[in-house]
Chain A
Amino acid sequence: MTGILLLGVILPFAIPILIYLPLRHKTPLLAKRWLPSFVAGLSLAFSIALAIDVTHNATNNEPEFSKTVLFFVDIHVDALSAYFLLLVNTVAFFAALHIPSFLEADSERPSTRVSEPTQNWFHQIVRWLNQKLSTEPAFLLLFSSFHVSMLLVPLMDNLALLWLFIEITTIVSAPLVGYRQDVKAEEAAFKYIILSSTGILFAFLATIFLIGNVPPELAGLEGLNWSTLRDNLPPKSNIPFVEFIFLLALLGYGTKAGFFLLHTWLPDAHGQAPSPVSALLSGVLLKSALYAILRFYVITNLALGDQGAFTSSILLAVGLVSLVAAALFILKENRFKRVMAYHSLEYIGIITFAIGLGTSLSIYSALFLMLAHALIKALMFLGYGLVKRAYAQNGIHEAADITGVFQQMPAASLVLSLGGLALVGVPPFGVFLSKFMILWTAIHIAQAKPLYSVAIGLFLLSIALIFAGLVNHLGKLLLGKSPVVIQADKQRRLLFVTLFILLAIIFGLGFSTWPITPLLTNSVEILCRGACS
């Protein structure tokens, strides 16, 4: 059963085949543009079924995870991976719905410069690829590959493959960041690929060291599996080495997750990528890297046998520094999409801080925040993308010139302002309750450890500053006088309906998390092994 559901989940694999095989010339353009959303929708349905299946197995006291071999690869499905699959697919589905509109607007962009002819076969290949990368089929292909690679990350039991798929996310998303091929997009793409590839090498080193420490009795490829390592690494042996491995993994995957000082690619890539891609980058990619860190977190806690003391102290510090830095960046004058990117830094900070607190409640809140952040950021990026395209159609191309959205596009301003309120954690949105629970846990711990009071103070101050910063940026965008008159558009109206559905989901999660509660509680159990007070 799980195998069939899994095949359904990784359906987006089919898109490259559909786009590039015989259908390529016969399929109407519009059908091709809608293909990713159709397949993402199907994949989402299968991931919901998989989540129900996993939850059902867990409640019947069966093993907490099931292992399946698919295409010769060990697939690991537990509540945590099912939760991440749900997160990836929900954002990918809504982002894919906005692809046709983006591609239609983008089709008016002048084609890229054709280089002078060459007869050198090697240069011909590179040039051919260079030109193909900025075409519409390439966009659809890369978007789907990006989606698939992020779906495969939570399914991998093998830690080397987990690393490989996280790296593949960089390789397939870099051309999407540089899709527009102007100087800003090229700079962002180059920076993104160089920084991510450099950072991820440290994660590779961590994996090598971890595998090098595997006891000899675990010979065979099974020894590379997270589930095997979790159950078989001898506790309290080679402590400095295990700590070193965790630090390397944190540094490596932290570059992709966008921790402070490793985050420099984040505002550039999020700011320059097309909006559906920004939604995936911000909503999902960062979480995929966090997922890898969480897997290392469990192994490290079990191997150290210190009830999570080492990992907690590191994560608390990293999270708090990222949060404080995000507050300073958000207060600064900046373009809207870059401000949104800094909100990712904020959330990564809060989530890491919450995991660092190391209680069931704080980890539950962190996991919920991952989903909430993914949905809200998808809403904000997609909503802003619609606004930007509407203004661009009327000759306003510079982000700084977009003002008076409230006057011209009331639906957009409603989406952006409610999304903004959800982002900063205003009640009744679910983010408020999560932040409150994290704070409550921190206050509880501070009674025994007074040093936590400083962290609580910084946490509260940062959140207040971020609130003020976002209100300021949203005010500039929504209020004031618009330089152009925006005409109503039927297709745009339909896309706003999708955003209102997304908004309704975000709003609903603020009142009840019942559809995902079993997944969350089981995920907390998985993460709390060897930690949690």
Chain B
Amino acid sequence: MSVLFRGALILVIGTAVYAAITNKLNNKLTSYLWQSSLLVAISFMGIFLFEKLNWILALGIMVAPLTRAFAVRPFMALTTVEPPPTKRAARSRLRRLWREFIDTSWAEPYWREYGTSRLGQISTIVAIALLTSLAYGTAFSLIPLASDTSDIKKIISHGLAASLSLLLIGFFSMLNEEDTSSHIMGLLVMENGMFLAAIVFLADTDFLFSFFIGLFMYVALTLFILSIFAPRLHRASKSAFIGDQTELREYK
């Protein structure tokens, strides 16, 4: 299970790398969906690795990445562009509510235009490789691994490395992306890094659940506020690109 866990951590980093490299917002969203699903799997695997992480607790914390996986597209659609006027489709009530929530067809054409980076793909790959090495170097110097290191310590060390990688890659994406929606995607990747850190560091403590509630609330509220502010900014400045937000810039 320990090997599987570490494999999942590498896949999580892979999704973050892909999200940072790809030049299409739609692809970033798909890789985020995979990343969140992997975090659900990691929470599940944690049951077999950490003593204090039981089934109920694991199911509780899985709610966070699951919700984000489902909600990211509708919220991102709102941050991309203001929704057009719509008419209510005549369907059964529950199905209609669900359809209305997940309907992002009006924003998808914009997603093809958004997601371009300032740096070219090669430079981005080099930068990400450096950041990931930095994350692994920091993690292994803080929690050194030796041949006699216990399995759980290895997991914590690798988990710390993966979480720092997500944090740095997400942060780099925020600096590297050209539009506000991709900017927000960077923030979401960073937040997944926090989730991972919380699992590996707090799974064997009594604080795990309270931390997840705090983290979940924070993400939900931040996304909600951003889904209000981003379109307002786009409407006011007539652009979704960071480079066009120059009203307050002192050095134009």
Contact = CB atoms under 8 A, between A and B. Distances in A.
Interface string B128-149: 0000000000100111000000
Interface of B: 74, 78, 82-88, 97, 100-101, 103, 138, 141-143, 163, 167, 171, 174, 180, 183-184, 187, 190-191, 193-194, 197-198, 201-202, 205-207, 210-211, 214-215, 217-218, 221-222, 224-230, 232-233, 235-237, 245, 247-248, 250
Given A181-B232, A223-B205, A116 B222 contact: no
A161 B122 CA distance: 42
A28 interface: no
Nearest to B222: A197
A197 B232 CA distance: 19
16 contacts: A120-B100, A122-B74, A133-B228, A164-B217, A174-B229, A187-B236, A194-B174, A194-B183, A198-B171, A201-B194, A202-B167, A211-B201, A211-B211, A221-B207, A267-B250, A338-B250
A118 B83 contact: yes
Interface string A242-278: 0010000000000000000000000110011000000
B194 A178 contact: no
A204 interface: yes
Contact of B197 (A118, A175, A184, A205): A205
A190 B86 contact: no
A208 B218 CA distance: 15
Given A183-B236, A183-B247, A244-B142, A171 B187 contact: no
Contact of B190 (A201, A208, A244, A268): A201
A208 B197 contact: yes
A198 B205 contact: no
B185 to A, nearest CB: 12
Contact of A178 (B138, B180, B232): B232
Contacts of B250: 267, 332, 334, 338
B78 A126 contact: yes
A223 B248 contact: no
Contacts of A240: 141-142
A186 interface: yes
A382 interface: no
A78 interface: no
A181 B237 CA distance: 11
A450 interface: no
Contacts, number: 156
- 6 closest A-B pairs by beta carbon, nearest first, are A212-B201, A183-B236, A119-B88, A116-B85, A186-B233, A186-B236
* Overall SS of chain A's interface: helix
A130 interface: yes
A160 B197 contact: no
B227 A201 contact: no
Interface of A: 113, 115-123, 126, 129-130, 133, 160-161, 163-164, 167, 171, 174-175, 178, 181-184, 186-191, 193-194, 197-198, 201-202, 204-205, 208-209, 211-212, 214, 219-221, 223-224, 240-241, 244, 267-268, 271-272, 332, 334, 338
A231 to B, nearest CB: 18
Contacts of B226: 193-194
Contacts of A189: 229, 233
Contacts of A184: 247-248
Contacts of B248: 184, 187-188, 191, 267-268, 271-272
A324 to B, nearest CB: 18
B120 to A, nearest CB: 24
B227 A224 contact: no
Contacts of A211: 201-202, 205, 207, 211
A221 B247 contact: no
A244 B236 CA distance: 41
A198 B174 contact: yes
Contacts of A332: 250
B247 A120 contact: no
Among B83, B97, B214, B225, the one with the most A-chain Cβ atoms within 10 Å of its Cβ is B225
Contact of B233 (A126, A187, A202, A221): A187
Nearest to A213: B201
B194 A204 contact: yes
A498 B207 CA distance: 47
